[in-house]
Structure 1
Amino acid sequence: MRIYGDSISGNCLKVKWVADVLGVPYAWIEVDILKGESRTPRFLAMNPAGQVPVVVLDDGRVLSQSNAIILHLAEGSALIPRDAYERARMFEWMFWEQYSHEPYVAVARFQVRYMGKPVSELETRLVERGNAALQRLEDGLLGSAYLVGAAPSLADVALVAYTRLAPEGGFDLGRYPNVQAWVKRVEAALKIA
């Protein structure tokens, strides 16, 4: 399997982490999005959306979108709860991550860290929605070690990717002690640094 990804992208790192945790062999092909490498004709032939990550499976089939990829890789593993309700809760968090977390926390991080925008110049709505997402996580972790069940699931993988980097976008994780503790637990469980 080949993973085409940019190491600065939390969405790409999700795929790497799941493959590593599950012992799935892969070749990592670095795609520098800042240099436009995901917009070349060769890359667009694999993924017309021009986004990373992209996985080329051993049989040549191509799969994109981080959460779709990690669901495929983790099929039948402990990262996907067996209980139907817990599995649906995992999906709930994963869908929420792409709609209500990543568009704010990751975008603020990208603008500050890679575009050099001062935090004070971030769009107010972006900051408000990012903090609302972090508060939703804080509340969701009240009394729970992980987002769903007693062990890490793909929901934790999906959400830890950009949450752990939120300070790079100007977000203060000190306001969210449950989130801070959860990030450390997930990093330890997945053996990520």
Structure 2
Amino acid sequence: MAEEIGTGGARRLVLLRHAKAERAGAVDDVLRPLRLDGRRQAGRVGVALRESDLVPDRVLCSSALRTRQTWDLLASHLGDVEPDVTITDTLYAADVADVLDLLGQTDARVRTLLVVGHEPTMAATATHLADPASDGGALAQVRVGVPTATYSVLESDAAWEDWGPRGALLTYVGRPTA
């Protein structure tokens, strides 16, 4: 990891539900690939993250095929960046506590962290972390769950290991359109 990563200020957590995958049934769940429209969704997420200055310094990605494909496709739209990427089985069947454990292990120099995972965990984590003063529309969305290729952005000045209940501001929930 490069030393020039982040120099202070708020840390930003981007929680992304993978893009649209093939229906369950033909293959094991962990091996479900993205559909064609899911592949397009993933690319649009990459463009949206780049245009919103949310290019990650570090990425935590579930080991499921659909999350890895989502990351690979969106990464191709981020420009000349090479974030530190960890593919982990932990995120495949994670709960909120698992995500918080992974956050707590994040290097203090990381300013923007992207987590590519699954529902209901991505929305539940955003709900758990969101301060009641967060954007009302965004908070309402994560409380009911998020569709595929939707990302939630949370900000806090706290060290990663100190992120906890209602300790971050949920500033945005986005789902890029065509």
TM class by smaller structure? 0.3 to 0.5
How does the TM-score come out when normalised to structure 2?
A: 0.38
Relative CO higher for 1 or 2, CA cutoff 8 Å, sep ≥ 6? Answer: 2
- Higher strand fraction: Structure 1 or Structure 2? 2
- Rg larger in structure: 1
How does the TM-score come out when normalised to structure 1?
A: 0.36
